[in-house]
């Protein structure tokens, strides 16, 4: 008999500080019955990793949130990437892989570094800043819309840029809450999201996107017959959904880790080439995307527990990333550790397609900040931003000094 837990992983209490509950779930057993939702939970690295690799048994096409698309109507058309299995997934993935090829992403590096350097100079000049608004949101919202090719009017059209940022964040907040139950968080995110949904939908059209951007590259895949025009639009929607909040929260986790571990900041300040590993460790330690679901396609036994077809499995990526069976001293934020193998970007066929883009953003920001600021510390209590999937903050008061 599998252990049964009454933990609600989508309650405010859980989301405010998930780490002690992760430990509980991990130690309860390899497979835990979460009675509150009638679903299975896995919080150990070995099982989480194995399930991610076995897409035939644990599918994504029934949705990677709590809702089962076989019996419930999704809140939007399912993603061709995230909420699909081979062979449909393979075709979409091929197109998006091509649009986000390593070469394409590398071409953005100079721009990212430049934007990060300007930001860092400004921040250190100010001293007291909000790590969320002034860094973690400011950077991605600067570079991402430009990289995608979202038109934002003239350089001085501040209003248009603010509108873009607002729409991207509102939409992301909705999408990531919607993977959870229809709780207060999801309802609240949905209630004010109409204009953002319309905005995103309109931006997915070919005619709304600038030539030369990543979105235009997705449409080139339609020109080549790899996907249809309509599919290209949905793939652009994937970029707009998955590309912002994830990197915002990753940067928040990086800043929190570094601000609370002065010795780690010193290492980074002395050697900014550690920015890459520091970002990777932040994704392991903070797991911006905390959970995803899979759905069993057949009866399967995992570590002695039988899972029936159509049953939902909640994968605690964040708990797996802090499993002492896999990572030594896992709660320690250590930018010199080999964080490779973490499941913060997932694993298997759905492994984050934007990881290179995200890593380049993280590396640019951390390297620029580390070379400008000799110290970074909390100047107040971080305020968690509760979300059914993301582990971020609504405010992170920081003090930087040169
Ligand atoms: C999460 O729409 C999508 O295809 C999509 C949405 C969210 C994600 C990924 C893809 C994992 C970052």
**pLDDT tens digits, 177-187:** 999 999 999 99
Average pLDDT over residues 136-147: 98
CATH number at residue 295: 1.10.630.10
Distance, in Å, from the CA atom of 281 to the CA atom of 262, rounded to the nearest integer, reads 15
Number of domains in the chain: 1
Specify the pairing of strand 128-130 against strand 305-307: unpaired
Is residue 287 lining ligand 1, measured as CB closer than 6 Å?
no
Split at pLDDT 50, 70, 90, the class of 156 is low
377: nearest Cα among 247, 249, 255, 271: 255
Distance, in Å, from the CA atom of 314 to the CA atom of 66, rounded to the nearest integer, reads 8
8 Å CB contact between 243 and 225 = no
Distances (CA, A) of 110 to 106, 113, 314, 326: 8, 5, 39, 36
Between the CA of 329 and the centroid of ligand 1 the distance, in Å, is 30
Is residue 241 lining ligand 1, measured as CB closer than 6 Å?
yes
Per-residue model confidence as pLDDT tens digits over 287-297? 999 999 999 99
Q: Structural domain of residue 332, as residue ranges?
A: 4-401
For 316, phi then psi, to 5°, come to -90, 85
CB atoms within 10 A of CB 341: 12
Residue 103 confidence (pLDDT): 95
Percent of the chain with pLDDT over 90: 97
Between the CA of 82 and the centroid of ligand 1 the distance, in Å, is 6
Residue 182 confidence (pLDDT): 98
Is residue 141 lining ligand 1, measured as CB closer than 6 Å?
no
Is residue 82 lining ligand 1, measured as CB closer than 6 Å?
yes
Average pLDDT over residues 324-344: 97
Is residue 236 lining ligand 1, measured as CB closer than 6 Å?
no
Residue 158 confidence (pLDDT): 85
Between the CA of 227 and the centroid of ligand 1 the distance, in Å, is 18
Atom of ligand 1 nearest to the CA of 81: 4
Between the CA of 380 and the centroid of ligand 1 the distance, in Å, is 32
Residue 148 confidence (pLDDT): 98
Substitution site in 63, 75, 80, 81 for ligand 1 pocket (most atoms within 8 Å of beta carbon):
81
Between the CA of 107 and the centroid of ligand 1 the distance, in Å, is 23
Between the CA of 270 and the centroid of ligand 1 the distance, in Å, is 36
Per-residue model confidence as pLDDT tens digits over 21-61? 999 999 999 999 999 999 999 999 999 999 999 999 999 99
Distance, in Å, from the CA atom of 199 to the CA atom of 229, rounded to the nearest integer, reads 19
The residue whose CA has the least distance to atom 7 of ligand 1 is 242
Residue 385 burial by Cβ neighbours in a 10 Å radius (0-12, 13-18, 19+): buried
Per-residue model confidence as pLDDT tens digits over 240-289? 999 999 999 999 999 999 999 999 999 999 999 999 999 999 999 999 99
Residue 100 confidence (pLDDT): 97
8 Å CB contact between 149 and 215 = yes
The residue whose CA has the least distance to atom 9 of ligand 1 is 242
Go through 58-94 and write b for each residue having 16 or more CB atoms within 10 A of its CB, e for each that does not: bbbbbbbbbbbbeeeeebbebbbbbbbbeeebebbbe
Classify the phi-psi angles of 82: left when phi > 0, otherwise alpha if psi is within -120 to 50, otherwise beta: alpha
Residue 157 confidence (pLDDT): 79
Between the CA of 237 and the centroid of ligand 1 the distance, in Å, is 9
């Amino acid at each position: 008999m599998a252990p049964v837990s009454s933990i609600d992983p989508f309650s405010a209490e859980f989301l405010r500080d998930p780490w002690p509950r992760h430990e509980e779930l991990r130690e309860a057993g390899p497979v835990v019955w979460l009675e509150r939702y009638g679903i299975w939970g896995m919080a150990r690295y070995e099982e989480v990793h194995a399930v991610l690799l076995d897409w035939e048994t644990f599918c994504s096409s029934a949705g990677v949130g709590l809702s089962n698309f076989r019996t419930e109507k999704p809140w939007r058309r399912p993603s061709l990437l995230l909420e699909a299995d081979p062979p449909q997934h393979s075709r979409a993935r091929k197109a998006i892989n091509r649009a986000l090829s390593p070469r394409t992403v590398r071409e953005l590096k100079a721009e990212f570094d430049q934007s990060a350097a300007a930001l860092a100079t400004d921040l250190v000049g100010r001293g007291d800043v909000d790590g969320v608004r002034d860094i973690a949101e400011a950077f991605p919202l600067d570079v991402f819309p430009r990289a995608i090719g979202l038109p934002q009017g003239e350089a001085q059209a501040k209003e248009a840029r603010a509108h873009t940022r607002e729409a991207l964040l509102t939409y992301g907040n909705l999408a990531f809450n919607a993977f959870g139950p229809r709780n207060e968080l999801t309802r609240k995110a949905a209630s004010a999201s109409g204009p953002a949904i319309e905005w995103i939908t309109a931006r997915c059209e070919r005619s709304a996107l600038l030539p030369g951007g990543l979105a235009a590259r997705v449409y080139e895949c339609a020109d080549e017959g790899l996907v249809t025009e309509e599919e290209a639009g949905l793939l652009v929607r994937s970029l707009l959904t998955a590309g912002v909040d994830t990197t915002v929260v990753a940067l928040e986790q990086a800043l929190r880790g570094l601000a609370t571990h002065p010795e780690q900041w010193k290492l980074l300040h002395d050697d900014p080439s550690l920015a890459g590993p520091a970002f990777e460790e932040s994704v392991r330690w903070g797991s911006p995307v905390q959970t995803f679901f899979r759905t069993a396609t057949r009866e399967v036994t995992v570590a002695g527990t039988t899972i029936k077809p159509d049953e939902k499995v909640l994968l605690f990526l964040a708990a797996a990333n802090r499993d002492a069976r896999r990572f030594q001293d896992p709660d320690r934020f250590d930018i010199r550790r080999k964080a490779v193998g973490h499941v913060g970007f997932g694993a298997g066929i759905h492994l984050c397609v934007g990881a290179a883009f995200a890593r380049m953003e993280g590396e640019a920001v951390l390297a620029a900040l580390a070379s400008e600021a000799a110290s970074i510390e909390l100047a107040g209590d971080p305020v968690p931003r509760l979300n059914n999937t993301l582990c971020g903050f609504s405010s992170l008061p920081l003090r930087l000094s040169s």
